[in-house]
A and B are shown apart, each in its own frame.
Chain A
Amino acid sequence: MSPVNAVMRRELRSFFVTPMAWVFLVIFLVLAGILTFYTGDFYERGQADLQPFFVMHPWLYLILVPAVTMRMWAEEAKGGTLELLLTLPVTLWQAMLGKFFAAWLFIGMALALTFPIWLTVNYLGSPDNGAIFAGYLGSWLMAGSFVAIGACLSALTRSQVVAFVLTAVVCVLLILAGQPQVMDFFSGALPRRLVNALAYLSMLRHFEAIARGVLDLRDLAYFLLSTLGWLIAGVLLLELKRVR
């Protein structure tokens, strides 16, 4: 078994031995339901699709993902197991990927458990299931970006609380980057081109089309590249800690 796989399985197991994982799953599912049916006007819209459900996902991840990723490296650094893990014959990349995949799979599980909403919408009408599938896929990809951010920032600190807060702050900034309020705030201070570039970093902007069930290659590339970028940053951070 490859070390990536071994790390991933260990991490997944460690999620579920504490009640935390189950608590998060329940919170995620309850919140997903509430946000979709109440805030998202699921019924009132009178349309058989899951757009109100998907639109809420960035906000759900904002809470759930930092909670899942905060312990990833911070706990190991604090408990001393980091020294054990990193003196086993694994590269930093293998360890990072193992942990990343574990958290990403966990979010994927949470996402998959929202299937009753899909059943509901199929019961109520005849939605475009291809679009829904695309939405799920896009949402999971976006979750990957969030997880990578959390993985990187958890490597920065020994404190899980700090890791949680940092991750949540960075995520909220990235979600809001393209919103008019934020844009207005920056447009006075920064050159137009930079502001537009900033807007392009927005998670919401890239998720908008996906929530409607449209998988644009540029949006997918955005999420994949940002995932990769944050993972690289995380590995560099770990390497820096070794040298520092």
Chain B
Amino acid sequence: MIETERLTRRYGHLIAVDALSIRAEPGQVLGLLGPNGAGKSTAMRMIAGFLAPTSGTARVCGHDVQREPLAARRALGYLPEGAPSYGEMTVREFLVFIARMRKLGAEVGRRRFDEVVGWLQLESVLETCIETLSKGLRRRVGLAQAILHDPPVLMLDEPTDGLDPNQKHTVRQLIDAMARERTILISTHLLEEVHALCNRVVILAHGRLQADATPAELEARSRYHGAVSFSAAGSGVSQEMLGRLPQVAAIEVDPLDGRVTVFPKPGARILEPVEQLLREQGLEVSEIQLERGRLDEVFRQITTAQEGAS
């Protein structure tokens, strides 16, 4: 479990993290979302005990990171931003070093080493110097380091940043597999990641918490939530008809591909009436879709609305 209470960090006059209160429970993958410079990494560094909070508290599995730093760190597996590791060491040496630092003991250490290496498919590079590894492999070594002691709480700072789509997929699968009984906090600025991984999202902007919701709840805030979009040849006539439907608030046409999006009035369901109307008009609809809502739109809305105010 990770809890923060009014966690604050100042650099001189700049407030990097402003009274952040979040809570992540076992079985949860909490996504810390925000534009670059929103304070995601600073918040994580405080939870990991690398930076001291200016005020407020953070607890990992009930251990206050300031008062019981070692107990908190033992419960935590942490992948810092960019997955730093000692480049001159081989993967084996590095993981053995981490096992020693975490006092895993010979037997447990060897067992976990084998498990983690097998799981992250690092067997073939065990004797390779880390600095010669590809970015994706280095990220996997960083993950191996973070989960070596089988921690109940895992915190990953931009785990898929800079990886190619295949590598991203692998890393996400790993996180997904680990999520069941653990508490996982990941930071990201990639919205696709939220869909792929998180069951709750916290959005930060300018160090402040702007939203704390499930991805579905966020999507529901989108203008596009419940909207119906379709592509049809010669849809020009029907637009007027669609506009007369009582549930419809607005209609937009994509100037590039002519795709029509019909927006509902708040709370209205418009898929059926729209479909019916199109059928009556005898339009040949090549494809029709009920929109879930667009996270990127909500994200922009939430993170830029504040800019005007501050």
Contact = CB atoms under 8 A, between A and B. Distances in A.
Interface of A: 1-3, 5-7, 9-10, 13-14, 17-18, 79-81, 83-84, 86-91, 242-243
Interface string B70-99: 100110101011101111110001000110
B135 interface: no
A6 B96 CA distance: 9
Contact of B45 (A9, A14, A18, A83): A83
Nearest to A6: B100
Contact of B80 (A17, A80, A242, A243): A80
Contacts of A90: 70, 101
Contacts of A80: 80-82, 84
A3 to B, nearest CB: 5
B145 interface: yes
Contacts of A9: 97, 100
Interface stretch (B48-56, B175-183, B247-255): B48-56
A87 B100 contact: no
Contacts of B49: 86-87
A82 B90 CA distance: 18
Contact of B93 (A13, A84, A88, A242): A13
Given A6-B97, A10-B97, A89 B89 contact: no
A243 B12 CA distance: 11
Nearest to A84: B84
Shortest 8 CB-CB distances between A and B: which pairs? A80-B84, A6-B100, A87-B48, A83-B80, A89-B73, A243-B52, A88-B101, A89-B70
Contact of B88 (A5, A14, A242): A14
Nearest to B45: A83
29 contacts: A1-B100, A1-B103, A3-B101, A6-B97, A9-B97, A9-B100, A10-B86, A10-B97, A13-B89, A13-B93, A17-B88, A17-B89, A18-B88, A80-B82, A83-B50, A83-B80, A83-B81, A84-B80, A84-B145, A86-B50, A87-B48, A87-B73, A87-B78, A88-B101, A89-B70, A89-B73, A89-B74, A89-B101, A242-B51
B116 to A, nearest CB: 16
Contacts of B101: 3, 6-7, 88-90
A13 B89 CA distance: 9
A14 B73 CA distance: 25
B132 to A, nearest CB: 13
Nearest to B53: A243
B7 to A, nearest CB: 15
Nearest to A5: B100
Nearest to B129: A17
Nearest to A81: B84
Of B50, B73, B98, B145, chain A has the most CB atoms within 10 Å of the CB of B50
A176 to B, nearest CB: 36
B74 to A, nearest CB: 5
Contacts of A81: 84-86
Interface string B104-148: 000000000000000000000000000000000000000001000
Contacts of B87: 79
B102 interface: yes
Nearest to B74: A89
Contacts of A89: 70, 73-74, 101-103
A80 B51 CA distance: 13
Contacts of A79: 84, 87
A1 B109 CA distance: 12
Given A2-B103, A13-B89, A91-B70, 7 more contacts: A1-B100, A5-B100, A7-B101, A80-B80, A83-B81, A84-B145, A86-B50
Given A13-B93, A14-B88, A242 B52 contact: yes
A119 B82 CA distance: 52
A78 B86 CA distance: 12
B84 A242 contact: no
B296 to A, nearest CB: 30
A17 B80 CA distance: 25
Interface in B128-176: 145
Contacts of B80: 80, 83-84, 87
Interface in B188-225: none
Contacts of A88: 73, 98, 101-102
Interface string B31-47: 00000000000000100
Of A1, A3, A88, A91, chain B has the most CB atoms within 10 Å of the CB of A88
Nearest to A242: B52
Given A13-B93, A90-B101, A83 B84 contact: yes
